[in-house]
Amino acid sequence: MISITKIFRFEAAHAIYTYPGSCQNIHGHSYELQVTVHAKQESDGFIPGLGITLDFKVLKACVQESVIKVLDHKLILSKAYLANVKNEFSPSELFVFEHEPTAENLLVFSRNQIRAALPESVGLKSLRLYETRDSFADWSEG
């Protein structure tokens, strides 16, 4: 299987409600999201048409619109956090998340958003989301 990867960066803050440690406090990360997609190939292994999996510009636009613009420079908090903690956040700086905004759950969100934005001829193969330089979560198809 042939695949291509593009790397995206965004800044966001979050807190994990009822976490037994410092992650329960609002804190920020410089996230790095690696997005890998694959082409649907012919039986001989070659990619039909132009011979490319997806133009990197198209992949960039898909991810920028579906994930980066949604999360970049936002405070990401769960509905549970907002229901139980006094807050006075501006709606423009807040992204309300159905689940706790862990790296793992942000990957599931990213997967769903990117899949919906990709052309039918391309499949999402894997995602890797770094919270720090040396800490990340992975998602892969299969």
pLDDT higher than threshold 80 for residue 116: yes
Give pLDDT tens digits for 3-27. Answer: 999 999 999 999 999 999 999 999 9
Structure confidence at residue 42 (pLDDT) = 66
E-strand ranges in the chain read 3-14, 27-39, 74-78, 94-97, 122-132, 135-140
Q: Which domain holds residue 35?
A: 3-140
- Mean pLDDT, to the nearest integer, of 45-67? 92
Predicted confidence band at 90 (pLDDT cuts at 50, 70, 90)?
confident
- Mean pLDDT, to the nearest integer, of 126-135? 97
Euclidean distance between CA atoms 52 and 30, whole angstroms: 31
The CATH number covering residue 57 comes to: 3.30.479.10
Number of structural domains in the chain? 1
Amino acid at 142: G
Q: Helix or strand or coil: residue 14?
A: strand
